[in-house]
């Protein structure tokens, strides 16, 4: 069976909610269904991660929930002196920065796949005070991933781009939903039930900032 796009999934949900093609006056848009789908994916990713804790106590989500973003350009923050990249999507909230895998790009003699270590924001001061470890430390703050590069350890390194893989539920209408069929079916059933329930509720009318219930016949 071919993989579905999120648009196809949303159209299928609306078809089931309305028992056919949604009317032109439909209260529920594809964009609203997309929001519901992304919320469902995020919740499933967290549940999946906590069922995947390995023997070392590391919690991780299946590859299904990760999306890769390549050659993201770093910008220098003049206040801190750290380079950063703005996160391209909203991450799923996994513990200990397990939502991210980041790798440098560029000269293979200067860059290796394990040189970047992601740490929590509250670990930054402690890590910088410890004996020197030949790592580039990265941490998340204000929707950005910052990189601390010790020039004594990496005198020749000019990190300009990175490849970032994130556990995320984000993605537009034309992105692929590559969840397993059982998870996708569970998400669809839940969303259809929620939306059918919302259609049974009376609409509210806004008037001068006050909500007025529609008159009941």
Q: What is the pLDDT of residues 20-70, one digit of tens each?
A: 998 888 889 999 999 999 999 888 888 887 777 665 566 667 778 888 899
User: Over the chain, what HEC string results?
Assistant: CCCEEHHHHHHHHHHHHHCCCCCCCCCCCHHHHHHHHHHHHHHHHHHHHHCCCCCCCCCCCCHHHEEEEEEEECEECCCCCCEEEECCCCECCCHHHCCEEEEECCCCCCCCCCCEEECCHHHHHHHHHCCCCCCEEEEEECCEEEEECCCCCCCCCCCCEEEEEEEECCCCCCCEECCCHHHHHHHHHHHHHHHHHHHHCCCEEEECCEEEECCCC
At 215, the pLDDT band (50, 70, 90 cuts) reads: very low
On the 0-12 / 13-18 / 19+ scale of CB atoms within 10 A, 49 is: buried
Host domain of residue 84: 63-167
Sign of CA dihedral 35, 36, 39, 41: negative
Residue 86 lies in a domain: yes
Beta-bridged to residue 100, according to DSSP, are 166
Query: 99-146, pLDDT tens digit by residue?
Result: 888 988 876 666 777 788 888 888 877 777 777 788 888 999 999 999
Residue 53 lies in a domain: no
Residue 82 lies in a domain: yes
Query: 6-20, pLDDT tens digit by residue?
Result: 999 999 999 999 999
Residue 177 lies in a domain: no
Residue 148 lies in a domain: yes
Residue 38 lies in a domain: no
> pTM value?
0.73
CA distances from 60 to 95, 137, 208, 215 (A): 9, 20, 49, 51
- Quick check: 145 and 75 in contact, CB under 8 A? no
* Residue 145 backbone dihedrals phi, psi, to 5 degrees: -105, 115
Residue 4 lies in a domain: no
The domain total for the chain is 1
Name the percent of the chain lying above pLDDT 90: 32
Q: Is the pLDDT of residue 178 over 60?
A: yes
Q: How many residues does the chain have?
A: 217
Residue 84: count of CB within 10 angstroms of its CB: 20
Residue 176 lies in a domain: no
């Amino acid at each position: 069976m071919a993989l579905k796009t999120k648009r196809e999934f949303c159209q299928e949900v609306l078809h089931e909610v309305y028992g056919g093609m949604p009317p032109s006056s439909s209260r529920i848009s594809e964009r609203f269904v997309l929001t519901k789908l992304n919320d469902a994916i995020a919740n499933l990713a967290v549940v999946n991660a906590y069922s995947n804790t390995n023997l070392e106590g590391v919690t991780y989500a299946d590859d299904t929930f990760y999306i890769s973003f390549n050659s993201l350009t770093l910008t220098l923050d003049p206040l801190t002196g750290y380079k950063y990249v703005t996160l391209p999507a909203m991450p799923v909230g996994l513990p200990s920065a397990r939502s991210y895998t980041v790798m440098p790009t560029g000269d293979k003699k200067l860059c290796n796949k394990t040189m970047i270590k992601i740490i929590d924001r509250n670990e930054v001061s402690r890590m910088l005070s410890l004996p020197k470890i030949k790592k580039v430390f990265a941490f998340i703050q204000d929707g950005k991933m910052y990189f601390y590069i010790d020039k004594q350890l990496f005198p020749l390194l000019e990190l300009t781009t990175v490849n970032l893989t994130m556990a995320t539920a984000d993605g537009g209408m034309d992105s692929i939903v590559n969840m397993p069929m059982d998870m996708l079916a569970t998400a669809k059933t839940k969303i259809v039930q929620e939306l059918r329930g919302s259609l049974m509720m009376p609409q509210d009318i806004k008037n001068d900032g006050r909500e007025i219930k529609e008159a009941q016949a």
